[in-house]
Every structure is written in structure tokens, then in C-alpha cells.
A and B are shown apart, each in its own frame.
Chain A
Amino acid sequence: MSEGEMAALKEEVEEKKKVIATLRNQPWRMKKRLVVLKEAQEFVEKFEGALGKGKGRKLYAYKVMMTKILMGLPYGSIPRKTVPREEQETAMDYSVLFDFGGYCKYSFLFYGYYNNEPTIGVLKFRLPLSYLLVGVGIFGYSLMVVIRTMARNANEGGDGGEEGDFTFSWKMFTSWDYLIGNPETADNKYASITTSFKESIVDEQENQKDENIHLRRFLRVLANFLIVSCLGGSGYLIYFVVKRSQEFANMKKDNLSWFEKNEVEFVMSLLGLVCPPLFETIAELEDYHPRIALKWQLGRIFALFLGNLYTFLFALFDEVTAKLESEKVIKNSTEWVLNQYYSNYSSFYNTTDVPPPAVHPSDVIRGPCWETGVGIEFVKLIVSDIQVTYLTILIGDFVRAVIVRFLNYCWCWDLEAGFPSYGEFDISGNVLGLIFNQGMIWMGAFYAPGLVGLNVLRLLSSMYYQCWAVMCCNVPHERVFKASRSNNFYMGLLLLVLFLSLLPVVYTIMTLSPSFDCGPFSGQEKMYDVIMETIEKDLPAFIGNLFSYATNPGLILPAVLLMVLALYYLNAVSKAYQQANTDLKKKMQMARDEEKNRRNNKDSTNQVMKDLEDLLPNKSLIPPPTEEEPPPPDVVIEKGSKSPKMKPGAAAKGVNLQKDVSLAAPNPRAPVTRAPGPRKGPPGNARGPQPGPGRGRGRGGPPRH
């Protein structure tokens, strides 16, 4: 076999192989596929032997090796990643116990379970440094993950914006879920599809509705005013309650009732429970489209929670400063006591070698540990949040469902269809709840590391619990819209919450001084001094120099400036792309419309086109055409944009071509089709405008006189 023949044969074999590989994707009947497959396989077998096998096997070997290598990498890196975390967790165990124990029973404080962190830290591995780095690292990692998810979502589909194109078509062809096999689910789906169609129909017809703009505006302003006052009221209530709890803290613990001890958390949870339905009722004044109303509602709930949380934080901040003050006092008194002890001892025993006082750890005078205090507050908050959520589900869904089901038999109106009826699973409310839970964890994790573990347990248990509640007590929604098509709306909220929960933590790290005798940073002036120490003592000298150069304002300012410029540039580029996009879309739309109009034999509906047409010369001078012959198939239109009227393709579509010809504006060049004739006289004027065969481009040649 010659080289050329070999090459050709090889190509054919490759083609046959490709056919086999894409056989599944062809829309053929199975019989045809099987036949084609057999043919192709026979061909390949017959001729591949001639070309020599073995290539396939090599590829296969490479593939296996690649997977092994790829699988090796993650396996190797994972244990390394988790070890420091674990060590840190175990070291923190005591403080976890202390925190949580501190919440449950205050007597734990006196047991000395409290392990003195700094000693461990300095002896074992770098506890304080790792604590700080992990704390900061959590925020960095979370930030990266959230932004990456948002970017991915943005690529996939846009943010609830472009839905208007094919609303009805999509509803008709893509709304039924072919996976449904359960009759009840099918019934629900039919109902929701019907409702969705009715909504769209109403939307279509709403443009003709008569509205009273002024009344609507007034109502909306009123609604917003009411809601803002609600928010303000709730903020003030929380502040008041926190202040009161500080007074309670000063009183003896045993005189307080349970309610008074947990007043703050109780009030916050109550507000979180009562306000959203209140907002929803007030929002009915506003009369928005459901999706927009949902966004407003979510925004307001967000503002409520944020306001509450920050008020809580401010009030807590007062507590912290108070504790710092008292710490100073205790420190002074401890030093005084110690000095007394030393002077007494040395004067009594007449030595200078004074052993440290032998005091039982639990009796040591201890300062108020403000970080632990803050941690306790957060843990209490989260626990009460958990309790409230579970109780709400239990009462709001389960008990309600039980009542509706069983009381329905002996009640005057239909409970199932009428007032209480079964609850719906509030998707947006629950997602918001998750976001805020996460925000609180981010804030509190630095002061109470065990909070993370606690939250994991909470999430697991709550998932199963809510799963049961949904299956057992809820009915599906009637309306099927979402706040945003991708989840970018919620991711945006999450990002905002991340930033807002980052702020208090960073502020405390930077400005407040750590407690004197508790926590991994005790003894330092500021918490980040740990990093400074490490850099100075443990890392080689040039790194220290490097850092000092890097933190020079002279370097930082230009870097910030550069970033701002980059931002501006990227923003401009993205705007340009968006503009190009809309231009292309408009072009496509215009092309479509022109096609349609040509097919429907209408005049162009585009006003610009109409104007252009009217401007064409001598339109009125051309008499109505006779219908002798269709225009020659390759008539060339030279009128620039007014193309589609006489396209040659028209002949193929089987439309009544004669009609096409007669209704369309005739070619304005018609009067000039005759080539300038012999110089006998002015051509054409004596005869008048040319009829019939004169149309087109002078096919018949200049008429001979």
C-alpha cells in the first residue's frame, strides 16, 4: 500500500471511530444506530489491523497514570492542612468548656477548670500566634469562597434580570418536571403551573390598568415611614434591655428570675419573630409586583437584624470597657497584696529568697475576662436563637397543622382552606436565618472557638428536624417565583454580613487591649503584638526589615492608588462590553422584525425605515405596475438598508410572488433603466415612465428606436 493510500485509509478509520463515538448523540432510531454501528465496527476492524494497533493501549496507560497522579495530590495535602487546626482545638478545649460551662452554671467559674492559656501557648506550639492567624484566616477564606461563588453564578445566568424574552414559551415547554412520579406532586405541579400562567396573563394585561399614581405614592411613603419607625423602636428596645442587663449583672445572681437573666436574648429573638410578619402586613399597602415586594421584605428584615445586632454590639462594648476598668482596679489591688506578702515574708523569715505564695488556683484573684464575657454573650445568643427556631417550627407548623387537621371536623369554617390552613415553607426567611446565623458565628468565633463546633451540631440537627417538619406539616407554595434566578441576591447579602461581622472583630483586635490574666494574648499591649514578637524574635532579620518596609505609608499609598485605578479601568471595560451586548441584541431584533415584516407583506413598522422610504425619490411618479412577470431572480437591490423587499430567496418560500411584486414599492430606478440612448433626443421623457419590462435592470437592453 502506498503512503497516500495509507493516509487516506487512516483518515477513514478515524472518521468511522468518530461516528461510533458520537452514535449516542444522533437522533436516529435504534435500529439504524445498530446497523451503522455494525458497519463502522467491521470497517475499523478490517483496516486497523493493517495499520497496526497498540496506539490505543499507550493512550490508555497514560490515562491511568494521570488519574493516579491527580489523585495523589489532594490526598497528600489534606492531612497537612488539618493538623494545626486540631491541635489548636484541643488546646482550646478548656476555654470551650469554660465558656459554655459559664453559661450553664456560673459555679463553673470557681472550679479552676480554667486553664491558663499563655503558659501552654509558650511551651507547646505557638498557640497565640496560631489563634490569631486562624481567626483572621477564617475571614479571608470565607471571603474568597463567597466571592468565587458569586462570580460563578454571575457567569451562569445573570441576576434575575433578563426574563422577559420568552416568558410564555418557556412556561409552556420547560415548566413540567419530567421526574415527577407521585400523583400528589403532579397535582401540585399542575396547580402551580396554572397559577404561574394566570400571573403572567395578569402581568400582560396590567399595562392597560388605570392607576392612581398619587395615592400609590402616598401609601408607599406611609408604609416606609411606619417600617422605619418600627426599626427604630426595636433598636431602642434592645439598647434599653441591654442596659438593664448590666444593672442586673451588678446585683446578686440569685435574686434574678430566669427571664431577667436571659432578657436580652429573649427580646432579640422575639423581635426577630414578630417584626417580619408585621412588615409583610404593612407592605400590603404598597402594592408591588410579588418579586419586588419580596426583595423589599428581605431588605427590611435584613435591616432589622442588622440594627438589632449592632445595637447589641454597642451595648456590649460598654460592658467591655467597664470590665477593662475593673480589671485595672483588680490588678492594682493584686500587686499591692503581693508586695505585702513579699515584704512580710522577707521580714518574718529574714531571707530574700521568697517562694511564690502557695495559693490554690481557684482562690487566685482573677480579673474579669472581657473576651470570655463577650464569648458567653454570643453563645447565649446563638443558643436562644436555636431554641426560638425550634419552638417556632414546633408551634407554628406542627401544632398548627395538628389543630387544623383535627379541629376541622367541628369548626364552622373550613380551617384548611380559610384562615390558619397549613403553613408554607418560608424559603427566603429560612435562608436569611441561615445567613444571620453565619454572621453571628463569624463574629463570635474569635472569642468562643467552640461556637463553631456548636453551630455544626446545630445545623445538622436542624436539617433533619426541618426536613421532617416540611414533609409532615407544610404545603407547597402557590406562587413559584424566586427573589433572583441565580442565588446571587443571597450571596450578596452573605458578603455584606461577612464584612459587617468582620468589622467588630478587627476593631477589637486593633484597639482594645487583651485581658491581663486570661486568653492567649494576656500580657500584651495589643493582640497583634504577637505577630510583631514572632517577627522580631523568631524569623530571620531581613524578614523583619521587609515587613517594616512593606508597612511604610510611602509604599502603601501608591499600592492603594494603583488598585483604585485598576478598579476604574475594569469597570469601564465591563460597561463597554455591556453596551456592545445591547447593541448586538438590538441588531438581532431589528433583523428579526424585518424578516417578519417581509414575510407578512407589511410595510416596515420601524419608524426610521418608514422615514427613509418616504424620502426615496419619485415614489409618486411610478404608475401601478402590471403583473406580467415576476422580477428576474437575481435583482440586485442597491438601496442600502431597505434590503428585504425583493430578495431572491422569496421565490423559494412559495408565497404569492405576484402579490409581493405589486404591493412592494417598485424599484425607483425603473425610470432610468434604459441606457442612455443615441443622442436623438432626451431619452425617456417623450415616452413617459417605462412600464413592465422596464423594471429591473435593463434586462432587455436599451430599446432600439
Chain B
Amino acid sequence: MGNKQTTFTDEQLEAYQDCTFFTRKEVLRLHGRYRELAPHLVPLDFTNNPDIKVPLTLIVTMPELKENPFRDRIVETFSEDGHGNLSFNDFVDMFSALCETSPRELKTIYAFKIYDFNRDNFICKEDLRKTLNKLTKGELTPEEVTLVCDKAVEEADLDGDSKLSFSDFENMISKAPDFLSNFHIRI
């Protein structure tokens, strides 16, 4: 194949191809993007799996994430330590889960995790309030915010515990027409 790259071994690239929705070329390109976030931190040679993590503050400067109101939550969700420091594995994982070919079920799971701000596996009213404020940049009055959150819970909550469990969320999202096309990051 005439590949002269020394970033990854062939086995590593094959493994990434099997574990993500990316091809070899795309994985290499992702490595380039990862590296340019912190060139002094990220080595060029990944053949022996160095344990490097790029901090949250650098990741959210990426143009794909910069304007997203949920960028912090997205990066935190995919980080192993929960604070948003991504290793290359996590980095690739994040973009693979959000890419166009990623299936609906997978995206639903991650969407639920992203919108669950306090990470208790339920989207409670406080999570909803935070989501709404991020979406409207604080333009709604508190009464309007409360109304919207109450209505959302009323619509989607199936088991009556006034918070959304994963099955509630999934049931609601499965019927949403715009979910797949909007919940998609292209890199």
C-alpha cells in the first residue's frame, strides 16, 4: 500500500478501523488534528501507546466544537476521568460516535449521557434547566424556563418519577425526525 507513516503500526490501524467508523486515512487525519491541539504534548509516534491526555480547555477550541453550547458536556462524557481530558482513544471514540454513519441507538445513548449533567443516569429537572439555559443563552424568563421543563417532563416521562430515565428518553427520541441529522459532527 506504500504507507510510509510511522505514527501507528498496521495492527493498530486495523484495530481502530474495526472499533470505529473511520478508515485508516481518517484515523491518521484524526491523529494530525489531535496533535495540532498540543504539539509539544502529543508525540508523533504512537506505536507504543503513550499515555497522553489533552485537557478540556484545548479540546473545546476545535472549530467543530467551538460553537456548540454542549461542548463541555460532550468532551466530559467521552473522557475516562470525567473531567474532559481526552486520550487519543477517547478522542477517536468521540468523533466516531458522533459521525454520520454512527447508528441511532448509539447516538441516543451518548445523547442521554451528554444531557445528564449531574451524571445520575436520570435527566432530572435541574438537568433540563441547564440544557435550556445553554440553548437559549438565558433569554427566557425563569417562569418560562420552569414551564418548558415541566412540559418536557410531562411529555416524555413514562414511569411518573418526574425525571427522564433512559427508556423515557429513548422512547421520545426514537420518534424525533431531526435527531439523526442534527446530532452529527463531521470531522
Contacts and interface: CB of A to CB of B under 8 A. Distances in A.
Q: Do A and B bind each other?
A: yes
Nearest to A601: B160
Interface in A14-30: 20, 23-27, 29-30
Contacts of A174: 173, 176, 178-179, 182-183
Contact of B136 (A23, A29, A33, A197): A197
Given A180-B67, A183-B67, A34 B19 contact: yes
B18 A37 contact: yes
Contact of A25 (B15, B103, B137): B103
A606 to B, nearest CB: 15
Interface string A187-224: 00010011001101100100000000000000000000
B151 interface: yes
Contacts of A33: 19, 93
Interface stretch (B32-40, B52-60, B105-113): B105-113
B28 interface: no
A35 to B, nearest CB: 10
Contact of B111 (A173, A180, A182, A198): A173
B136 A193 contact: yes
A597 B111 CA distance: 29
B42 interface: no
Interface size class of A (residues with CB under 8 A): 35 or more
A29 B80 contact: yes
Name the prevailing secondary structure of the A interface residues: helix
A178 B172 contact: no
Contacts of A169: 152, 155-156, 172
Contacts of A190: 69, 135-137, 139
Interface string B57-85: 00000011011111000000000100000
Interface residues of B, number: 61
Contacts of B111: 173
Contact of B144 (A181, A201, A592, A600): A201
B7 interface: no
Interface in B158-187: 158-161, 169, 172-173, 175-179, 182-186
A133 B93 CA distance: 57
B109 A596 contact: no
A172 interface: yes
Nearest to B12: A34
Nearest to A20: B18
A33 B97 CA distance: 13
B135 A596 contact: no
A168 B155 contact: yes
Nearest to A594: B160
B140 A166 contact: no
Nearest to A40: B18
A122 to B, nearest CB: 56
B18 A201 contact: no
B interface secondary structure, majority: helix
B132 interface: yes
B115 interface: yes
Contacts of B148: 168, 172, 197, 200-201
A163 B131 CA distance: 22
Contact of A175 (B20, B89, B182): B182
Contacts of B155: 165-169
A642 interface: no
Contact of B69 (A176, A201, A598): A176
Nearest to A486: B177
Contacts of B103: 25
Contacts of B98: 178
Contact of B67 (A26, A182, A600): A182
Contacts of B70: 176
A595 interface: yes
B124 interface: no
A651 to B, nearest CB: 16
Given A166-B176, A169-B152, A172-B148, A178 B132 contact: no
A593 to B, nearest CB: 9
Nearest to B137: A190
Interface in B6-36: 15, 18-21
A219 B110 CA distance: 51
A24 B18 contact: yes
A68 interface: no
Indicate the member of B102, B128, B131, B155 with the most A CB atoms within 10 Å: B155
A600 B161 CA distance: 8
A704 B140 CA distance: 70
Contacts of A157: 177
B15 A172 contact: no
A170 interface: yes
A170 B18 CA distance: 33
A23 B106 contact: no
A383 interface: no
A31 B137 CA distance: 36
B85 to A, nearest CB: 14
Interface in A564-615: 592, 595-600
A309 to B, nearest CB: 35
Nearest to B157: A596
A166 B144 contact: no
A177 interface: yes
A27 B105 CA distance: 9
B15 A173 contact: no
B144 A198 contact: yes
Given A172-B152, A194-B136, A178 B184 contact: yes
A204 B159 CA distance: 24
Contacts of A500: none
A20 B175 CA distance: 30
Nearest to B169: A173
A169 B132 CA distance: 10
B63 A166 contact: no
B147 interface: yes
B154 to A, nearest CB: 8
Contacts of B128: 172
A169 B178 CA distance: 12
B89 A25 contact: no
Given A165-B155, A176-B69, A176-B70, A23 B18 contact: yes
B158 A595 contact: yes
B129 to A, nearest CB: 10
Nearest to B89: A30
A204 B160 contact: no
Contact of B160 (A30, A197, A198, A600): A600
Contacts of B186: 179
Contact of A179 (B156, B161, B179, B185): B185
A25 B102 CA distance: 7
Given A181-B63, A194-B140, A197-B140, A23 B175 contact: no
Contacts of B182: 174-179
26 contacts: A23-B19, A27-B97, A29-B90, A30-B20, A30-B93, A34-B19, A157-B177, A165-B175, A166-B176, A168-B148, A168-B155, A172-B135, A172-B152, A174-B173, A174-B176, A176-B68, A176-B69, A178-B98, A181-B64, A185-B67, A190-B136, A190-B137, A193-B135, A194-B135, A200-B148, A600-B160
Given A27-B110, A179-B185, 17 more contacts: A30-B92, A34-B15, A37-B15, A166-B172, A168-B152, A172-B131, A172-B152, A178-B185, A180-B68, A182-B67, A185-B67, A190-B69, A193-B135, A194-B139, A201-B144, A592-B158, A598-B160
Interface of A: 20, 23-27, 29-31, 33-34, 37-38, 157, 165-170, 172-183, 185-186, 190, 193-194, 197-198, 200-201, 204, 485, 592, 595-600
